Amino acid sequence: MTTRTGPDPILFELFKNTLFGIADEMALTIFRTAYSGVLKDVMDYSTAFCDEDGKTVAQGLTLPAHLCSVPDAMAAIIRRYGDRMRPGDVYCLNDPFEGGMHLPDVFIVRPLFYKGERLAFAATVCHQTDMGGRVAGSNASDSTETYQEGLRIPPVKMYDAGEPNETLFRLIEKNVRVPVRVFGDMRSQLAACHIAEAAFLRLVETHGPDVVRRSMQELIDYTERLTRAAIRELPDGEWSFEDWIDDDGIDYGKPVPLKVTIRKRGDAIVADWTGSSGQVKGAINNTMSFTKAATYTCIKSLLPLEIPNNEGFYRPIQVIAPPGTIANCVLPAATAARGLTGFRMVDCCYGALAKMQPHRVFAASEGGNTGISIGGYYADRRPFIYVDFLCSAWGGRPWADGLDGNANMMGNLSSQPCEVCEIEHPLEILSFEFLQDVAGPGKFRGGVSVRRDYRFLEEEGVLQIRSDRRTFRPYGLYGGSPGKPSWNIINPGREDRIVPAKVTMTIKRGDVYRHEQPGPGGWGDPLERDPERVVRDVRNEFVSLGSARDDYGVVVDTEHWKVDVEATAALRAELRAKRGWKETPFVSW
């Protein structure tokens, strides 16, 4: 796709969009054909298209948490099989210590050949409903080593020259609780790879293998040039930030520190996680690939939207995390609940970037989605497993309020519809609603978080919860206040039993579990908030009359639903006098 003077810009743009279209079509294929709610409703999966060396060329519009991890999975497969790959081969893995992230995330990868020559790879990763282990859903935060968590699959052939690996399929069938659902989801991954192969071969037939190969490399190099040019526009310097996870679910009450230092020089960035906790007993340990994913997500969000997501974006960014730490764990670390740490790394990394770019970075979000699984058996011994990742809201932004009821930046996820939860599982959803006074007050408040009530309808089951931000609340920035903490409540209004943020426990028929997500932090001084916005929030029941007065200094005339201008001016003057003069803090915990 070149002319005598260099690459043809029109043909190059068409080629770029074709490859990204293939990756997106792979994602749509999984969405349309998956069996489980965690894929077809929550959309916890990702797709990518890679070159012959496993370098990511194009990513589907899915999860940042997964897609930055594809290069490590590809490297593990190529190390193992190299030049032994043949047409019709398909590979899979989930081993956190050989290319994976945690056991539920299963990579399925197909090398793409043209006339016997390997030119590319189609890659998918899906969160499977179950991969065995001690707790249904395979994602318990209180496991203490990887061997408790389920079936660990190193890079292996799933298909050998088109023939299925019956041994692998039998092993999976005998180790997972819901094999029909797991195999159905794996077939959706295989279908996505097939769709990618067909589309890619049409592209090769049109332009020839040499042109396609050169164009893929040019797309990666083009992305690197754009990324470096954008990074050069950022100020040089060094910025650090520290945040804390409440605990690891085993050593209750023992904070787990996360620390990152961002160093920017010229057209390159180093993100150094040295100083973070050593790897912990609980299952919240990160693989290096997931730490990279969190870091890349934050930096990417500061750069221009038109920069593609591929290998060229990763090249100017170095991520450092010492082995044996929570940011780069080693055997036998448990990793099932590593999503919690990845999401919290996003908050931590944004904290450092907020010092670099104070008018572009928002306050802490809700801390990441809450992982909830409920497993057990019906009376006839058929298993059921409900897996959900409850999303909430963004932190207050320097120019606007945080988004209400929205997925975290790290995971472009959706919450399962209540009706689907009830049809497919022995559950009744009693409420799914916004919380009042949960968002951190600010000139721009945090987004409004949600709560959900689940009534269990079977005889007995196991409830597993992965949550946080109860002790260390989501921080506010530049005068904004922190959000409210998370809560797990059993039988609200009847028993009101508070259970830990991370817990695996038995529930009985009729028990109600309520989860309240933490509130994101606010940005800027709440006393500078437009009073009309406060009135609107009070009318929408996002903010109470008491919070309007105490946090925002706004007196609301509820008879006419307007601001009492004189009373508000007097109250704000009084609150400022009580506060006295003090420098606006960078961060509020």
Place of tokens 């790290």: 410
Q: In the chain, where are the structural domains located?
A: 2-225, 362-524, 531-588
Say how many residues make up the chain.
Answer: 589
Please tell me the pTM assigned to this model: 0.94
- Categorise residue 266: left if φ over 0, alpha if ψ from -120 to 50, beta otherwise: left
Burial class (CB in 10 A: 0-12, 13-18, 19+), 226: middle
- Tens digit of each residue's pLDDT (9 = 90 or more) over 485-511: 999 999 999 999 999 999 999 999 999
- Tens digit of each residue's pLDDT (9 = 90 or more) over 196-205: 999 999 999 9
Q: Does 3 have pLDDT greater than 70?
A: no
Residue 1, pLDDT score: 57
Packed helices 70-81 and 288-302: angle between N→C axes, nearest 10 degrees: 140
Query: Model confidence at 413, in pLDDT bands (50, 70, 90)?
Result: confident
Query: Model confidence at 5, in pLDDT bands (50, 70, 90)?
Result: very low
What whole-number distance in Å separates Cα of residue 294 and Cα of residue 249?
22
Buried b (16+ CB within 10 A) or exposed e, 110-124: bbbbbeeebbbbbbb
Q: Which residues pair with 516 in a beta bridge?
A: 451, 487
- Tens digit of each residue's pLDDT (9 = 90 or more) over 235-247: 999 999 999 999 9
